[in-house]
Amino acid sequence: MKLLVSALEHSANVHLKYLMKELTDNVEIIGIFDASLGESIVDLRSTAIMGFVDVFKKLPFFFRLKNQMVNLASDVDKVLLIDSSGFNLPLAKSIRKRYPNKEIIYYILPQAWAWKKKRIPVLEKTITKLASILPFEPSYYSPMAPVEYVGHPLLDEITIQKTDLTPTGTITFMPGSRPGEIRKLMDVYREVRSKLTCEAMLVIPTHFSEERIAQLYGDISAFTVTHDAHATLARSDFAFICSGTATLEASLIGTPFVLVYITKKLDYMIGRALIKLKYAGLANLLLSHAYGSTLHPEFIQDEVTAESLYNCYLQMDKEQFFRDAAKLRSLLQHGSAKRVSEILKETQHA
C-alpha cells in the first residue's frame, strides 16, 4: 500500500510513528512527515508557525506545498491526513476535486465543534473516514457521517503514570516547542524558578541544536535540562506547561500543573473573536463536557506573571487534581493507533 501522508506538527509525527508500528512492512509513505520516518518532501522546520499573523506571511509557501501534495496524490492508494486543519482540510478538498474516488482518511479531526461548525458538512462530504480522538466529537456530526471515535493517541504513548502524590522535590517547566512560545515564556519561568528552592527541570525538544537552544531559551543555568517529558512529569510534584498537547500528557500521567499561554496581541484578539471556547486546555474541555467540572487552572496573556504562577503552585488542590485526572483517563479509554491501522487496511479492500 502506498500512502500519501500529511503530518506537519511534531505531535502528529509522534502519533504517526506509533501508527506505523501497527501497519505491515509493505506500507510505503510519501509526503510530509518527520525525517526519521523517511524522505519527506519538505523540512518540517520550514512549516512551523505560531498564530494567525505567521500564517498570512507564509501563505505562498503553503499554497505551493499543497499543490505538490495534490500532484503526489495521483499515484497513491489512499491519503492520510493528521491534524493541522488549516493546511489539511484545503488539501483534502483539492484532492477530492481532482481525484473524486481517492480514499482520504482524516486522523485527529479539525476542531469544528469549537469554531467554524460549517466545516462539518464539508468534512462529511470530502473525507472517506473521519477518525476522532475525542469521545464527544462524533455527536456533532450527522447520524450517517463516516466518523468514529478511535481512542486517544496519547494512551498509546504514555506508559508511565503516577500512583500517588508522594513529594519528590522536583518541579517541571515546559515552555512549548514553537520559538514564539518559548521566547515569551522563559522570562516568566526564570522568575518563577527564582522563588523555588527545589529542583527545576526544563523540558527541551530533542531536535533543537545547542545554538538554537541558546537563541531561544537564554540563560538556563538555574534549570536541569531534560528531553524526556513523560518520565520527568511522572517524577515531578508540579509543572508549568505551555498550552498544547503537553497539558493533556500531564493530565493522563497525573502530574498537577497550570496551563500558561502567551501569544501576539493581534493573534489573541483574532482568536478570541473566532474561537468561542470556555477553556484553552483539552483536559478541561473534556471534563467540562462529561462532568461539568475542570481539571487545572489556566493563565492566558496578561494573567501570566511570576506571582500568579507561583501562587497557583502554592494554593492548588493537588489531591483533587489527582482524583479528576483518573476520571479523565477512564473517559478516554484506550489508544488509537491499532484502530486507525485497521481502518487503513479496511479501506484498502473496500
Residue 8 and residue 90 in one domain: yes
pLDDT tens profile 37-78: 999 999 887 776 555 556 667 788 889 999 999 999 999 999
| One domain for residues 278 and 299 | yes
Whether 163 maps to a domain, the answer reads no
**Whole-prediction pTM value?**
0.82
Which residue in the block uniquely carries the three cell numbers 497557583?
312
Q: Which of 79-88, 196-205, 223-232, 264-273 has the lowest mean pLDDT?
A: 264-273
Provide the domain limits for residue 211: 170-332
- Three-state secondary structure of the chain: CEEEEECCCHHHHHHHHHHHHHCCCCCEEEEECCHHHCCCCCCHHHHCCCHHHHHHHCHHHHHHHHHHHHHHHHHCCEEEEECCHHHHHHHHHHHHHHCCCCEEEEECCCCCCCCCCCHHHHHHHHCCEEEECCCCHHHHCCCCCCEEECCCCHHHHCCCCCCCCCCCCEEEEECCCCHHHHHHHHHHHHHHHHCCCCEEEEECCCCCCHHHHHHHHCCCCCCEEECCHHHHHHCCCEEEEECCHHHHHHHHHCCCEEEEECCCHHHHHHHHHHCCCCCCCHHHHHHHHHHCCCCCCEEEHHHCCHHHHHHHHHHCCHHHHHHHHHHHHHHHCCCCHHHHHHHHHHHHCC
- 158 in a structural domain: no
pLDDT(344) > 90: yes
Averaged pLDDT for residues 3-11: 93
Is residue 164 in some structural domain? no
Whether 280 and 340 share a structural domain = no
Q: Nine-digit cell at 153?
A: 493517541
Is the domain of 340 the same as that of 298? Answer: no
pLDDT digits (tens, 9 = 90+) for 319-328: 999 999 999 9
Residue 161 lies in a domain: no
Indicate whether 350 pLDDT > 90. Answer: no
Residue 31 · residue 91 · CB < 8 Å: no
Indicate whether 323 and 341 sit together in one domain. no
Query: Does residue 159 belong to any structural domain of this protein?
Result: no
The pLDDT value recorded for residue 337 is 97
For CA atoms 56, 34, 64, 122, give the dihedral sign: negative
User: Domain tally for the chain?
Assistant: 2
Residue 148 within any structural domain of the chain: yes
Provide mean pLDDT across the span 3-17: 93
pLDDT at 105: 98
**Confidence label for 219 from pLDDT (cuts 50, 70 and 90):** very high
Structural domain contains residue 189: yes
Residue 254 contacts residue 283 (beta carbons within 8 Å): no
Query: For residue 101, what is the domain's CATH number?
Result: 3.40.50.11010
